[in-house]
Amino acid sequence: MKHNFYKAFEARFRGEREEIKKRQAIYLPLVKPVCKKHPQKPVVDIGAGRGEWLESLQEQEILAEGYDVDKALVEEAVGYGLQVKEEDGVEALTKMPDASVCVVTAFHVVEHLPFDRWMKLIREANRILVPGGVLILETPNPENIRVASEHFYLDPTHRNPIPARLLAFGVEYGGFERASIVRLQENPCFASEVRASIHQVLEGPSQDYAVVGQKDGDNDLFEQIGDSLARLAQGLSFEETVRRFEERLLAYDRYLLEAAVREEKRDISALEHAVHILKEELDIVHEALNGLQTSHHGLAEAFHMSQQKPQTLYGQFIDWFQEVMNRIKK
C-alpha cells in the first residue's frame, strides 16, 4: 500500500500527463539557451515523479536525468524510457562535480523538505551549474487563499507552504545572481480585469509559482534568459488582487453616491415643478381676489348712489311743487 500510495495519489490529483507537460512547457524558453550552449551537460530534475518534464526535454532532444525516492513513480517513469534513478535528489547533487550541469529543476519538491534541506538543494545547485545556468523551483502558491488553506494539505507529505518572497530570498542567499518570481496557472481573463470579486481574491491568484534562479558568469546567457523571463506572464500578487477588490468596492461606492445624487436631483426637480405649479395657482387666486376687490368697489359705489338717489328725487319734487303753487297764485 505504501509502495503505491503516492502513485495513486498523483494519478488522482496531479492531472493527466499531457496537461502537466503543457503547463511545464513555459519553462522551455528558459532552458533551451543554456542547453544549446552546453549540449553535453544534462538537465537534472529533482523529484522527477512520473517524468512529464523529462519527457518534454527528451522530445526537445535535450540531455536530462531525474531522481525520485518513490519506487513506484520511478518505475513508471523508466517505463516511458526516461533516465530516472530511485535516489534522494538532494544527496545526488552533492556527488556531482562543479559546473557539470546546465539546469536544475525541482517541481513541487521544496514544500516536502525542511528549511535546511531546500537551502542545501539551492547551494548544491549553484555549485554544480555552469556559468549562466538556471535553477527552477516550482511550488504551491500560498497567496492563493484556497491553496494555502485547503489544497496544500490535500497532500499528506507536504510540510508547510513557502511564501514566494522567502524562496526567492533563499535562492539569492544561496549564491544566484537572479531570482525571479513567476506565478503560474492564472486565469488569463482575470489578469486583464481592473477590478476583482471576493471569489477572485480567495482563488484568483496563481495556484503555483516558480522561482527562477540564474547563476552569474555568462553575460550572453544572462541576457537571453532575462528576455525570456520578461515575456512570461508574471501573474498577480495577493496585494495586487486585494487592490483590485478595493477598486471594485470604491467603484460600487461611487455608483451608490452617483445614484443618490441623481435621486436628489430628481427630488429637487420635482420640488421645483411643484413650486412652479403652486405659484401659478397663487397667481390665479390673486387675480380672483383682485376681481372680487373691483366688484366690491362697484357695489359700494352703487350702494352709495342708491342712498343718495331718494334725496335727489325729493328735492326735485319740492322744486316742482313750489313752481306749480306759484303758477296757481298768479
Task: Return the CATH fold of 2-236.
Answer: Rossmann fold (3.40.50)
- The 8-class DSSP code of residue 80 comes to T
pLDDT in tens, 184-209: 777 666 666 656 566 566 666 788 99
Q: Is 147 helix (H, G, I), strand (E, B) or coil?
A: helix
Which of 20-24, 211-215, 243-247, 264-268 is predicted most confidently? Answer: 211-215
pTM of the model: 0.71
Domain edges within the chain:
2-236
Cβ atoms of residues 111 and 140 within 8 Å:
yes
pLDDT of res. 329:
67
Question: Quick one: angle between helices 71-79 and 2-13, nearest 10?
Answer: 60
Q: Is 47 helix (H, G, I), strand (E, B) or coil?
A: coil
Q: Once rounded to an integer, what is the mean pLDDT over residues 29-57?
A: 96
pLDDT of res. 269:
79
The identity of residue 234, as a single letter, is Q
Kindly state the percentage of the chain with pLDDT values over 70. Answer: 73
Q: Which of 110-119, 218-227, 305-314 shows the lowest mean pLDDT across its residues?
A: 305-314
Distance CA 272, CA 266 (A): 10
Distance CA 293, CA 289 (A): 6
Cα Rg of the chain (Å, integer): 47
pLDDT in tens, 298-321: 656 655 665 655 566 566 667 766
Does position 264 have pLDDT exceeding 80, yes or no? no
Instruction: Please indicate whether residue 86 or residue 6 has the higher confidence score (pLDDT).
Output: 86
